[in-house]
Chain A
Amino acid sequence: MNYEDMEFFAPGHRACAGCAAPIIVKWALKIAGPKTIVVNATGCLEVFSTPYPHTSWRLPWIHTAFENAAATASGIDAALKAIGKRDDINIIVFGGDGGTSDIGFQSLSGMAERGHNILYIMYDNEAYMNTGIQRSSSTPFGAWTSTTQVGPSKPLGKEEFKKPIADIMAAHRIPYVATANPAFLPDFKAKIQKALSIKGPKFIHTISSCTTGWRHDPSKTIEIMRLATETGIFPLWEIENGDFSKIRITYMPKQRKPVEEYLKPQGRFRHLFNEPEKIKEIQRMVDEWWARFEVKS
């Protein structure tokens, strides 16, 4: 059955105009359909979708703390099994990057190791947005946040690299790990579909532009996320059973665009344009990642 014409996520939510998170959620739910239970870690998505006493969710939904979204989902998996109703019900977790790569990581790792039948989707806006744009381990190198301020003695913004959360999840040798981008919608939908067709723990890392924290015009949300992949900064791939040697690149840019095209429209990278060496460094890191997939002509 195809549920693409149904909306399981209602309007009236309080996301900033142009936020990518609701686009991710509405499409994940259209693919999953009505037999789905959603677990949602604290964060923007949870806050803007459930202004008490209202909710945007048209499916069973539970809010958890940061630390235990994957543990709560594991409990739901076990409970459904115990009452003999485990068949054909999807359990989907939505967690932010702070809630996933940092604070909820231990329970996520446990869920993966125990082999629960759950799809965990991390929507990555690359900072703790709901509390005012604080850096997370998923904030990229060079980005301004409210806790990686830019000034004469700190010209760079964040000086550390982004944690490779999808690689780390693949290293758990779970059946399915993918990166996804709603701007590449057919690929995004195919990955949700594929993940839900596989039994066991699945992890999808999706980019999620935040107009407020990334400092860009709200109309550019899809355009900027598309550039993230076209520049090669956010590659789209999937790995099954932790077999890194069989990584499948699901979108191969014919000619990668220069990273500047992605950085330029975002205020959080504005200072980098006074530090051309740093932009070169970002380009070099991206080139290095792609070197093994691109045949030199």
Chain B
Amino acid sequence: MKISRGATITEPGSTALEETGSWRTFRPVIRYEKCIRCMICWNFCPEPAIEKKEGENYPVANPKLIKMPVPVINYNFCKGCGICVNECPTKAIDFVREEK
């Protein structure tokens, strides 16, 4: 590899080209029908591998919440730490072993 002068890196955020999803041994799976869209999982995901998306097409715990954004896990980056599973106040995130 040719090293740039001063080892400068000119492409911001380029670790996003290198996925870390293969690190996972357990997969967090959001059960949207139990999700109250509080975004606590999004607050605490260290990667971050949880994205905030428009929620209208997702199942919802309470119809009043349908306009609120939902958390969507990006499995290309989720390392399966389980913080979201542990912190979710409604236990809406299952943690399932990855199969080969």
Contact = CB atoms under 8 A, between A and B. Distances in A.
Interface of A: 5, 7, 9-15, 17-23, 26-27, 49-59, 182, 185, 211, 217-223
Contact of B46 (A15, A58, A185): A15
Interface residues of B, number: 35
Interface core residue of A13, A22, A53 (most chain B CB under 10 Å):
A53
Contacts of A211: 81
A57 B9 CA distance: 10
Contacts of B59: none
A155 to B, nearest CB: 32
Given A53-B9, A222-B87, A17 B18 contact: no
Nearest to A26: B48
A217 B25 CA distance: 13
A182 B87 CA distance: 13
23 contacts: A10-B13, A10-B14, A10-B15, A10-B16, A11-B16, A11-B47, A11-B74, A12-B15, A18-B79, A18-B83, A19-B46, A22-B46, A23-B44, A49-B15, A55-B14, A56-B15, A57-B13, A59-B12, A218-B81, A218-B82, A219-B81, A221-B46, A221-B83
Contacts of A54: 9, 11, 14-15, 17-18
Contact of B12 (A17, A57, A219, A222): A57
Contacts of B47: 11-13, 22
A6 B87 CA distance: 22
Interface in B1-42: 1, 3-4, 7, 9, 11-20, 23-24
The 9 closest A-B pairs by CB, nearest first: A219-B82, A12-B15, A10-B13, A18-B81, A17-B79, A17-B81, A11-B77, A11-B47, A218-B81
A11 B15 contact: yes
Nearest to B77: A11
Nearest to B44: A222
Interface in B41-89: 43-49, 52, 74, 77, 79-83, 85-87
Contacts of B43: 27, 185
Contacts of A50: 9
A125 to B, nearest CB: 13
A23 B49 CA distance: 12
A12 B17 contact: yes
B14 A219 contact: no
Between B4, B14, B15, B77, the greatest number of chain A beta carbons within 10 A of the residue's beta carbon is seen for B15
Contacts of B13: 10, 55-58
Nearest to A24: B46
Nearest to A55: B9
Given A55-B12, A222-B86, A12 B77 contact: yes
B98 to A, nearest CB: 13
A11 B12 contact: no
